[in-house]
């Protein structure tokens, strides 16, 4: 198919840094190409099989994590908290949906950010925009904003440690369903939300006891005590992704071994652009973000280029239209995909179309708008007879104050209390869990209705 891991270089490219020292860049690229892969081809094939089930409506996809991972905020505790909240949400959704939940973190590589403007200005000073810790520093001074290729090595190392932690948490006892009651978060413990979670946990505990008396236990069924959390990020920064793209020594084929799942952002999905060229040749399961700006025709072409064999589980369409635009724009896309018989997973990103600036001058999102977009997503799929396969969230396991609303009722005035994101505002652990419960209600209702 006339593809190589470098064939994207002949295509127009967007959202890349301009490195000043080209020699240094090529030294770093060489170093990265010799470093071990962060994930293995076989693991990405397993994920693709699980996503094929999502595509057929036999499983549900939960994808979430930071908008941008950061070097400064990297700690085992932060990773552990994200792992725990994703697992809690998965338990809630599994319980309601009666289907397995495929869990993918925006983690272990989610460093590079596309920006709407190349320039950021503050108090009359104009500087190049912050593009994520893998590229430059968020500090507001000229030097900090110079793209530094050695940051790719630091990002790689952080991603490697994160992968190791996630595997440890997934297999080392933390994911044991027996522990489920103990996962309750301190700050929701005595609230309605906390009690709702505890009640469900109690029922799961009883079910586990019943199963154990029937001889079903962790040694006969490891999935009771273990899980898998796959990794993902927007594969934006091409030198990094290219250096980690490897040919599978067992079965052949090229894999981007920087993460199990990689996606193309809304700003870099031009049909004739570099990112599409790169993605069409890798065998990982992949995603594309789509907004109201895509036409049904363009979408069909994208699916043909990115998934020519129409393989189930290969392609996830991550819909990020905004609460006010989804009703008008999603149905025609769904109909086109249905008419052409394209196999895709429909996933809802209710974050990126709902960002606004608060009166207190924070970039934020309203919990109710997020929920509204998810609800509409489910309703539209129900009306079209298609599968609302998953959800894609910017969220953290920490008790931050970045999004407005939720049962803690975070107001615009409170946003400054714990606003720590380096890019977009995230749901905090309580808002994420609340959203999972609300989605579980929608799932239950749509089963009855």
Token code pair at residue 22: 């080209």
Provide the b/e sequence for 340-352 (b: ≥16 CB within 10 Å): eebbbbbbbbbbb
Provide the b/e sequence for 390-411 (b: ≥16 CB within 10 Å): bbbbbbbbbbbbbbbbbbbebe
> Which does residue 5 touch among Co ion, ligand PEP, none (CB within 5 to 8 A, set by kind)?
none
Check the annotation: does 417 bind a ligand.
no
CB-side neighbour CA atoms (13 Å) of 130: 17
Check the annotation: does 375 bind a ligand.
no
Check the annotation: does 106 bind a ligand.
yes
Vertex 282, ends 277 and 283: CA angle to 5°? 145
For position 65 contacting ligand PEP by CB under 6 A, the verdict is: no
CB-side neighbour CA atoms (13 Å) of 358: 22
Spatial separation of the C-alpha atoms in residues 318 and 364, rounded to whole Å: 20
From the CB of residue 210, how many other CB atoms can be counted at a distance below 10 Å?
10
For position 365 contacting ligand PEP by CB under 6 A, the verdict is: no
The smaller minimum CB distance to ligand PEP, of residues 267 and 314, is found at: 267
For residue 266, the minimal CB distance to ligand PEP (Å) is 4
> Which does residue 114 touch among Co ion, ligand PEP, none (CB within 5 to 8 A, set by kind)?
ligand PEP
Token code pair at residue 130: 């912050």
Q: Which of residues 185-214 bind ligand PEP (CB under 6 A)?
A: none
Token code pair at residue 103: 């869990």
Check the annotation: does 45 bind a ligand.
no
Q: Which of residues 39-68 bind Co ion (CB under 5 A)?
A: 67
For residue 354, the minimal CB distance to ligand PEP (Å) is 11
For residue 392, the minimal CB distance to ligand PEP (Å) is 8
Provide the b/e sequence for 158-196 (b: ≥16 CB within 10 Å): bbbebbebbeebbeeebbebeebeeebbeebeeeebbeb
For position 104 contacting ligand PEP by CB under 6 A, the verdict is: no
The smaller minimum CB distance to Co ion, of residues 62 and 67, is found at: 67
For residue 262, the minimal CB distance to Co ion (Å) is 15
Check the annotation: does 133 bind a ligand.
no
Q: Which of residues 258-317 bind ligand PEP (CB under 6 A)?
A: 265-267, 289
The smaller minimum CB distance to ligand PEP, of residues 50 and 66, is found at: 66
For position 256 contacting Co ion by CB under 5 A, the verdict is: no
Classified as helix, coil or strand, 322 is: coil
For position 236 contacting ligand PEP by CB under 6 A, the verdict is: no
Residues that bind Co ion (rule: CB under 5 A) add up to a total of 2
Is residue 270 within 8 Å of residue 12, measured between CB atoms?
yes
For position 424 contacting Co ion by CB under 5 A, the verdict is: yes
Residues that bind ligand PEP (rule: CB under 6 A) add up to a total of 10
Spatial separation of the C-alpha atoms in residues 280 and 284, rounded to whole Å: 10
Check the annotation: does 270 bind a ligand.
no
Spatial separation of the C-alpha atoms in residues 241 and 58, rounded to whole Å: 31
Residues 368-407: x where in contact with Co ion by CB under 5 A, - otherwise, as a string: ----------------------------------------
Position with the least CB separation from ligand PEP: 265
> Which does residue 265 touch among ligand PEP, Co ion, none (CB within 5 to 8 A, set by kind)?
ligand PEP
For residue 424, the minimal CB distance to Co ion (Å) is 3
Return the residue of 103, 151, 314, 320 that touches ligand PEP, per CB under 6 A: 320
Spatial separation of the C-alpha atoms in residues 393 and 403, rounded to whole Å: 12
Return the residue matching tokens 């609303």: 405
For residue 67, the minimal CB distance to Co ion (Å) is 3
Is residue 242 within 8 Å of residue 5, measured between CB atoms?
yes
The smaller minimum CB distance to ligand PEP, of residues 48 and 267, is found at: 267
Inter-helix orientation angle 296-306/326-340, to 10°? 50
The smaller minimum CB distance to Co ion, of residues 243 and 400, is found at: 400
Residues 412-431: x where in contact with ligand PEP by CB under 6 A, - otherwise, as a string: ------------x-------
Backbone angles phi, psi at 319, to 5 degrees: -85, 120
For residue 124, the minimal CB distance to ligand PEP (Å) is 27
For residue 376, the minimal CB distance to ligand PEP (Å) is 17
The smaller minimum CB distance to ligand PEP, of residues 14 and 414, is found at: 14
For position 112 contacting Co ion by CB under 5 A, the verdict is: no
Residues found near Co ion in the complex (CB under 5 A): 67, 424
Residues found near ligand PEP in the complex (CB under 6 A): 67, 114, 234, 265-267, 289, 320, 352, 424
Q: What residue numbers does the annotated binding site for phosphoenolpyruvate cover?
A: 106, 266-267, 289, 320
Q: What residue numbers does the annotated binding site cover?
A: 67, 106, 266-267, 289, 320, 352, 394, 424
């Amino acid at each position: 198919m006339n593809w190589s891991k470098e064939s994207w270089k002949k295509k127009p490219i967007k959202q890349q840094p301009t490195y000043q020292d080209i020699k240094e860049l090529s030294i770093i690229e060489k170093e990265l190409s010799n470093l071990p892969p962060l994930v293995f081809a076989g693991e990405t094939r397993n994920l693709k099989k699980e996503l094929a089930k999502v595509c057929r409506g036999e499983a549900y996809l939960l994808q979430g994590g930071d908008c941008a991972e950061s070097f400064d905020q990297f700690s085992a505790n932060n990773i552990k908290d994200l792992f725990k909240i994703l697992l809690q949400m998965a338990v809630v959704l599994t319980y309601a949906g009666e289907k397995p939940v495929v869990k993918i973190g925006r983690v272990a590589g989610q460093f590079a950010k596309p920006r709407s403007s190349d320039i950021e200005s503050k108090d009359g000073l104009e500087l190049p925009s912050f593009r994520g810790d893998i590229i430059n520093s968020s500090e507001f001074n000229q030097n900090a904003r110079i793209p530094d290729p050695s940051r790719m090595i630091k990002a790689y190392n952080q991603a490697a440690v994160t992968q190791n932690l996630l595997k440890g948490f997934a297999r080392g006892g933390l994911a044991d369903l027996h522990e489920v009651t103990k996962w309750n978060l301190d700050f929701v413990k005595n609230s309605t939300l906390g009690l709702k979670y505890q009640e469900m946990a109690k029922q799961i505990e009883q079910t586990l006891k019943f199963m154990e008396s029937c001889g079903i236990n962790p040694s006969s069924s490891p999935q009771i005590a273990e899980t898998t959390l796959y990794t993902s990020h927007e594969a934006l920064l091409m030198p990094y992704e290219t250096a980690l793209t490897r040919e599978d020594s067992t079965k052949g084929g090229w894999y981007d071994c920087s993460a199990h799942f990689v996606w193309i952002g809304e700003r870099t999905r031009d049909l004739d652009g570099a990112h599409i060229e790169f993605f069409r040749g890798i065998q990982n399961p992949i995603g594309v973000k789509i907004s109201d700006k895509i036409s049904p025709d363009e979408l069909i072409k994208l699916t043909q280029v990115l998934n020519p064999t129409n393989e189930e589980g290969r392609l996830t369409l991550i819909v990020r239209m905004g609460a006010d635009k989804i009703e008008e724009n999603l149905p025609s896309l769904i109909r086109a995909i249905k008419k052409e018989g394209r196999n895709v997973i429909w996933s809802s990103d209710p974050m990126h179309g709902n960002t606004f600036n608060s009166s207190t001058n924070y970039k934020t999102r309203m919990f109710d708008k997020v929920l509204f977009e998810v609800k509409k997503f489910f309703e539209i799929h129900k009306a079209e007879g298609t599968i609302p396969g998953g959800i894609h969230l910017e969220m953290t396991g920490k008790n931050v104050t970045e999004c407005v609303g939720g049962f803690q009722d975070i107001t615009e005035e409170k946003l400054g209390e714990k606003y720590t994101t380096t890019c977009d505002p995230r749901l905090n652990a309580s808002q994420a869990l609340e959203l999972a419960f609300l989605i579980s209600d929608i799932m239950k209702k749509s089963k009855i209705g």
